[in-house]
Structure 1
Amino acid sequence: MKRILFTTMLAAVLLVAGCGQSGGKSEEPAMNHSTGHGSGNSESSSQHEGHEENGGAEEGVSSNVQALFSYSNDSVKPNEEFVVKIRIQAPDGEPYDAFDTVHEKKMHLIIVNKDLSYFSHIHPDYEGGGQFTITTSLPAAGEYKWIADFKLEGGSALNRSEWMTVQGNAPALKPVEPDEQLVKTVDGKQVTLSMDHLMANMELSLNFHIADASTKEPISNLQPYLGAVGHVVILSEDAEQYLHVHPTEERSTGPDASFMTTFPHSGVYKIWGQFQQDGKVFTVPFVVKVP
């Protein structure tokens, strides 16, 4: 009788332990959401399937969304225009053809080089049938990462990316080093970045204070850029962690533009803030080390 009772209790313990080990998917780290235009009809001679940033699992339809990147030239060279096509599709090749407009665009395309010294934020034209197209050029030989940032109709924000190579003798890569002071002067503006704290996996506030570089007078006539006072793109130094951050007060006109975000891991990150005044967009880069 004692042996039967012991066996029954052991089975119950094993059953409870088994239930505690769920086989469910882990959630992808939250994306903090988010110019030139061109089009072309050249047939691509190379195609590549983009992968998702952060390596996280996504639930539902989103986890099956693919981006197929193709280029009009087999051998892209510096400063030569070429056509890039990005097809958003399911694993069986069927295209997704309904996209939400996010900050005035159906797709934001971010391009950086290997050491993050080059940055571009452009917007492909949507041709229908899941395909986006743009004509562009890149300034130097080396590796570049394309990050396609988009949102399926009624879905969540997604991004897919891939690396490609521009042929030629690439310049030596420079280390991505944290700035000693978070003050930069760009296009006659002095931009100061401040944060309430800096720590991985903790929501924080990024504030950009913008003033005239010569007079130090605050600038309060910023114009909307893509429907907001500004946009912020953040990448880890290896370009694997990607954040596209939108402002907390989109209708602000300066001198302050605030954003909320969370750095997913410790390490070095580069931050690009983009703003507009007098019809001209200016981009301000900062590098920080997150404990």
Structure 2
Amino acid sequence: MKKLGKIAAVTLLSAALLAACTPKKEEGHDAHGAHADHGAAGQAIETKASWKLSAAQPQANQPTNIAIQINDAKGAPIEKFDVSHEKQMHLIVVSKDLSYFDHIHPEYKQKGLFEVGTTFPKNGEYKLIADFVPSGGQPRTETNWIQVGAEKPAAPAPIKPDSGMTQTAQGIEVTLSFDKLQAGQPVQMNFSFKDAKTKEPIKNLQPYLGAVGHVVIISGDVEQYIHNHPIDEKATGPDARFSTSFPKSGVYKIWGQFQHNGKVFTVPYVVQVP
């Protein structure tokens, strides 16, 4: 009986982890958001976003202001938002070919309105993903595609998985590993950090937005979106572990963001998930 009880407990734990990490489709949205640090707490508050750019036709290398109005299902502005990892909104900006990635933070102007300025590096299509938590509610994502430059470019070539899982940024060698890679199953990711010259472990990572790091995962078709926070937010290296789940088989791009010596750095990886 004790053995059966342990098996049942493990089964329930796995099911709970999968439920917390698996992206869920939201009506009227083309992105799927998952947050490892948010369970099902809070009520489901329906939201709708209106997007306005300072230029009807944004141009590459020109400053562009983005205004995001968040309303409820009846069209009334949502007044209050929870602070999630030091910010009321996280805005992810990615190009359609996933070669460009930015993680910025719009300023709340009250009555549901957020604003932020950015500069797009080249012409093409970009997806904007607003990630926020209405006060007392569950995490939400709202998305918008925009065209930068007048001429619509040809469809981008599919991204290809990396041959290796080690990247170097700001003199730090970062290696990504998984306990397994399988769609629809809980997955643990580990980022390990070494000095690129001495190969000594890096043990003094600094908090970035209240945690040792943040991870954003987007599928090759730019439809699936996952935002993960670390298992141990107070870790300082040489390892940073995250739990996630890939909703379906395919190619995904992963961006890990960390801070060392006062500088934030981003390391990208492309993986094939069976």
Three-state SS of the structure 2 residue aligned to 1:214 is coil
User: Which runs of structure 1 show a deviation greater than 6 angstroms over 4 or more consecutive aligned residues?
Assistant: none
Tell me the equivalent position of 1:217: 200
Q: Deviations over 1:197-223 (max 9, x none)?
A: 000110010000011111111101100
Q: 1:53 aligns with which of 21, 31, 48?
A: 31
**Residue 176 of structure 2: which of 188, 193, 213 is its match?**
193
- Higher RCO (CA-CA < 8 Å; seq separation 6+): 2
Q: Deviations over 1:95-154 (max 9, x none)?
A: 111110000000000000011000000000000000100111100000000000000111
Preserved contact between residue 52 and residue 159 of structure 1 (Cα < 8 Å): no
Equivalent position of 1:242 in the other structure: 225
* CA–CA separation in structure 2 for the residues paired with 1:195 and 1:213: 21
Kindly state the Cα deviation for residue 30 of structure 1 after the two structures are TM-superposed. 4.8
Q: Is the 8 A contact 2:33 2:226 kept in 1?
A: no
Q: What secondary structure does 2:160 align onto?
A: coil
Is contact 1:143-1:163 (8 Å) kept? yes
- Could you tell me how far apart the structure 2 residues matched to 1:32 and 1:64 are? 19
Q: Give, in whole Å, the separation in 1 of the partners of 2:209 and 2:32.
A: 25
Asked if residue 143 in structure 1 is aligned to residue 121 in structure 2, the reply is no
User: Given the two structures, how large is their TM-score scaled by the length of structure 1?
Assistant: 0.79
**Structure 1 CA distance for aligned equivalents of residues 266 and 22 of structure 2:** 19
Give the match for residue 100 of structure 1. 82
The 1-side partners of 2:266 and 2:130 are apart by 19
Distance 1:186 1:179, change over 3 A: same
> How many angstroms apart in 2 are the aligned matches of 1:189 and 1:120?
20
Q: Paired residue for 1:8?
A: none
Percent identity among equivalent residues?
51
TM-aligned CA distance change 1:175 to 1:143, over 3 Å: same
Instruction: Give the letter for the 2:160 counterpart.
Output: E
Aligned to 2:191: 208
Q: Mean Cα displacement is larger for which, 225-234 or 70-79? A: 70-79
* Alignment of 1:163 onto 2:145: yes
When residues 155 and 120 of structure 1 are mapped into structure 2, their CA distance, relative to the original with a 3 A threshold, is same
Equivalent residue pairs, number: 245
| Bigger Rg, structure 1 or 2 | 1
Q: Distance in 1 between matches of 2:81 and 2:190?
A: 31
Aligned residues of 2:249 and 2:273 also touching (Cα < 8 A): yes
